Amino acid sequence: MEGLAMLRQLIGQLQELVEVYGSHPHYHLQQHHHLHLQPSLQFQLPLLNHHSQQQHQQHQHPRWCPINVDEGSPDDYYSFMMAAGKSGSLKMLEPCKPPLTKRSRKERTRGKSSGTTNTTEPMEQHIWKDFPEDLYEAVIARLPIATFFRFRTVCRKWNSLLDSESFSQHCAEVPQATPWFYTITHENVNSGAMYDPSLKKWHHPTISSLPTKLIVLPVASAGGLVCFLDIGNRNFYVCNPLNQSFKELPARSVKVWSRVAVGMTLNGSSTSEGYKILWVGCDGEYEVYDSMRNSWIRPGIMPSSVKLPLSLNFRSQAVSIDDTLYFMRSDPEGIVSYDMVTGIWKQFIIPTPLHLTDHTLAECGGRIMLVGLLTKNAATCVCIWELQKMTLLWKEVDRMPNIWCLEFYGKHVRMTCLGNKGLLMLSLRSRQMNRLVTYNVSSREWLKVPGCMVPHGRKRQWIACGTAFYPCLTAVA
């Protein structure tokens, strides 16, 4: 009986190991061993024997068969254990070795990763030395912007890719990514902060060529280039914030020191084909800069069909769709447009929705959008409208989530649109708060933007103004 008790204890330990580790002891059922199974399993014995033989032929492990230890004699169990031990399919626990312990998930993951690392084969020099250079450039052109700048530190050859014409062609073939935002902070207007919405990360570039004694503000963008205008409305500058390509535009022929609206378009698919910049004042004066000629031209005068003064809404940046620029005006309410190819001005009378403030134009996929603050009584909400081409009326298409709008209740909120190219960045501020949010016009997704912190510090910077631009590594001013 003492031997039977020890056998019961051993089988109990084996069953615990099966439950913990999921690996079953391996043994073959022998027809000549008279095992006493549970009553519910006695009639299944022939099936189990047959199934075990099939699995043995396929080099698979048979199923674990529960054994009723309460019935049968010790000799039956000893004969069964001895037969299994001789076949080598059942491994007995050695008394000198400690019992197995279950590894944690972290240890199992570390083991898998280390095993994968050990099996990684080194790159063969004789194979990769003849890898085509154009394929290198094609792959690198499709890397995220932040990854590319880390790759530039690998070798001088990769660092010189920005000046390569073939690399510029590969970059032009890559579809436009999500726009970035170049913003100016209240603390230092000459030190911009760029926001990458794909990584939700702020960058702090230093454009050394920008004048330090003047306040310059980003007013337009096209093809990866950002157009700056000094606060005195005298001088224009064009720069690529990524590669520091910079140009100061020649002086304008028309001396207009009043506030102007600015728009920018490309002559083709990239800046290599040139770009144009238009400025227009409320009195109807305007000029166009052509980068291919590096000069300002005055195409003509404002047609009589456009009512003067324009009463431009300077809170709203211009919207560019193909070769046409759209500006918002307030008296009469509507939009004026200018075709940069034909030089034709048009005017559209479009009443704005009621109770609307701080509204600005935006665009997405050729559609003209309107974003603004809708305030009624003490409630304030950010709303999005789309211009209906047939009726020339604004149709509301979305609103900020109500739970976000509750934060504005009873507060005097002001809004500034920092980018209007498919992905909008909105600055919402009052005496008690300062919030940055993005809105994706296509997916109708609202996201909060992390605070812009001072580099190597903890102080949050307040965003004054900004513009959206499509990041391009090779765009030249």
pLDDT digits (tens, 9 = 90+) for 425-461: 999 988 878 889 999 999 999 999 998 887 666 667 7
Confidence category of residue 359, pLDDT binned at 50, 70, 90 = very high
Taken in order 71, 90, 29, 78, the sign of the CA dihedral is: negative
Lowest mean pLDDT among 89-93, 348-352, 368-372: 89-93
Question: What is the reported pLDDT for 77?
Answer: 45
Residue 78 Cα distances to 19, 364, 446, angstroms: 24, 80, 71
Question: What is the reported pLDDT for 37?
Answer: 38
Distance of CA 136 to the CA centre of its chain: 24
Query: Which two three-digit tokens encode residue 301?
Result: 């005068």
Which stretches of 204-323 are assigned E, i.e. beta strand?
216-222, 225-230, 236-239, 246-248, 260-266, 275-281, 286-290, 295-297, 319-321
Lowest mean pLDDT among 50-59, 185-194, 217-226: 50-59
Taken in order 139, 140, 141, 142, the sign of the CA dihedral is: positive
Between 254 and 48, residue with greater pLDDT? 254
Cβ atoms of 316 and 323 within 8 Å: the answer is no
**CA–CA separation, 222 and 278 (whole Å):** 12
Instruction: Say what the alpha-carbon torsion angle 161, 162, 167, 170 is, to the nearest 10 degrees.
Output: 130
Question: What is the reported pLDDT for 300?
Answer: 80
Closest Cα to residue 262, out of 294, 236, 295? Answer: 236
**CA–CA separation, 440 and 426 (whole Å):** 11
Q: How many CB atoms lie within 10 A of CB 93?
A: 13
Which DSSP state fits 160? G
3-state DSSP assignment of residue 111: helix
Phi, psi for 64 (deg, rounded to 5):
-80, 125
Q: How many CB atoms lie within 10 A of CB 221?
A: 24
Output the CA angle 14-19-25, nearest 5 degrees: 45
**CA–CA separation, 238 and 246 (whole Å):** 6
Question: What is the reported pLDDT for 17?
Answer: 54
Confidence category of residue 189, pLDDT binned at 50, 70, 90 = low
Q: Is the pLDDT of residue 267 over 50?
A: yes
**CA–CA separation, 71 and 67 (whole Å):** 9
Lowest mean pLDDT among 294-308, 310-324, 454-468: 454-468
- Find out whether the peptide bond into 309 is cis, omega within 30 degrees of 0: yes
Q: What is the pLDDT of residues 361-370, one digit of tens each?
A: 999 989 999 9
Q: What is the pLDDT of residues 125-140, one digit of tens each?
A: 777 777 777 777 777 7
Confidence category of residue 31, pLDDT binned at 50, 70, 90 = very low
Q: Please give the average per-residue pLDDT across 87-104, as a whole number.
A: 48
Q: Is the pLDDT of residue 159 over 90?
A: no
Cβ atoms of 231 and 221 within 8 Å: the answer is no
Query: Which two three-digit tokens encode residue 160?
Result: 């010189």
Question: What is the reported pLDDT for 146?
Answer: 74
Between 197 and 6, residue with greater pLDDT? 197
Question: What is the reported pLDDT for 79?
Answer: 47
Question: What is the reported pLDDT for 141?
Answer: 77
**CA–CA separation, 352 and 378 (whole Å):** 21
**CA–CA separation, 419 and 124 (whole Å):** 47
Residue 147 Cα distances to 143, 160, 261, 308, angstroms: 6, 16, 36, 50
Lowest mean pLDDT among 258-262, 291-295, 445-449: 258-262
Ranked by mean pLDDT, the top range of 106-110, 121-125, 247-251 is: 247-251
Question: What is the reported pLDDT for 395?
Answer: 95
On the 0-12 / 13-18 / 19+ scale of CB atoms within 10 A, 420 is buried
Q: Please give the average per-residue pLDDT across 172-185, as a whole number.
A: 82
- Residues of the chain with pLDDT > 70, as a percent, come to 70
Question: What is the reported pLDDT for 49?
Answer: 42
- Residues of the chain with pLDDT > 90, as a percent, come to 31
Helix axes 133-140, 165-173, angle to 10 degrees: 50
Between 143 and 16, residue with greater pLDDT? 143
Q: Model pTM greater than 0.75?
A: no
3-state DSSP assignment of residue 24: coil
Which stretches of 318-390 are assigned E, i.e. beta strand?
319-321, 324-330, 333-339, 345-349, 356-364, 367-376, 379-388
Ranked by mean pLDDT, the top range of 25-39, 148-162, 242-256, 287-301 is: 287-301
Q: What is the pLDDT of residues 215-230, one digit of tens each?
A: 888 999 998 999 999 8
Q: Is the pLDDT of residue 89 over 50?
A: no
Q: Is the pLDDT of residue 168 over 60?
A: yes
Mean pLDDT for all residues in the chain: 76
**CA–CA separation, 214 and 442 (whole Å):** 38
Phi, psi for 37 (deg, rounded to 5):
-90, 170
